[in-house]
Amino acid sequence: MSDQDFPTDEMRYDLLTQQALRGVIRAALLRATDADGLPGAHHFYITFKTRAPDVSIPADLLERYPDEITIVIQHQYWDLTPDEDQFSIVLQFSGQPKKLVVPYAAITRFYDPSVQFVLQFEPPQIVPIEEDEIDPLDEDDDGPIDDGPKVVSLDQFRKK
């Protein structure tokens, strides 16, 4: 068998791994919904693509962060609702509460600095949209579905 004759991964282990690691994020967010909030010193920095399919953020945030944003879940957050494929949360920006809906597939980085835990994901494929196609009042707009492969880098977990 030559180097060119690799068997086809019909199980799609790359996608299964991505789903499992995104499940870690969901489980951590579920812990944050407990009555006592996040345990100990835990807190999360979540970076996601603002124009990824099914992301819903207010138009002013999309204008300020047209590609990517990092949110912090620590002391002041409300209505955190981790669902199967996405989570919603209310955070304050410039003193104003804003609701965000973030599919786990839009997340590019999850970091808990209290224990130096990091998950890094390949960014989702973004379909460019023209500025005149954006309707700032239409917050329930469903974007195209991203079925492309996603890869997570596990290099930071390897012992050196």
Q: What is the pLDDT of residues 66-79, one digit of tens each?
A: 999 999 999 889 99
Residue 92, pLDDT score: 94
Nearest to 28 by CA among 90, 69, 82: 82
Question: Which amino acid is located at 51 in the chain?
Answer: R
In a domain, 128, yes or no: no
Residue 127, pLDDT score: 62
In a domain, 86, yes or no: yes
In a domain, 148, yes or no: no
Question: What is the tens place of the pLDDT at every residue in 84-130?
Answer: 999 999 999 999 999 999 999 999 999 999 999 999 988 777 766 55
In a domain, 84, yes or no: yes
Residue 61, pLDDT score: 96
In a domain, 106, yes or no: yes
Q: pTM for the complete prediction? A: 0.73
Residues in the chain: 160
Residue 137, pLDDT score: 47
In a domain, 142, yes or no: no
Domain residues for the domain of 61 are 12-34+44-123
Number of domains the chain contains = 1
In a domain, 139, yes or no: no
Q: How confident is the model at residue 139 (pLDDT cuts 50, 70, 90)?
A: very low
Which CATH number characterizes residue 103's domain? 2.30.30.220
Contact 104, 85 (CB under 8 A): yes
Q: Cα separation of 60 and 100, whole Å?
A: 12
Q: Cα separation of 67 and 62, whole Å?
A: 8
Is pLDDT at 143 greater than 50 in this prediction?
A: no
Residue 109, pLDDT score: 97
**Percent of the chain residues topping a pLDDT of 70:** 77
Residue 122, pLDDT score: 82
Cα 71 vs. chain centroid, distance in angstroms?
10
In a domain, 151, yes or no: no
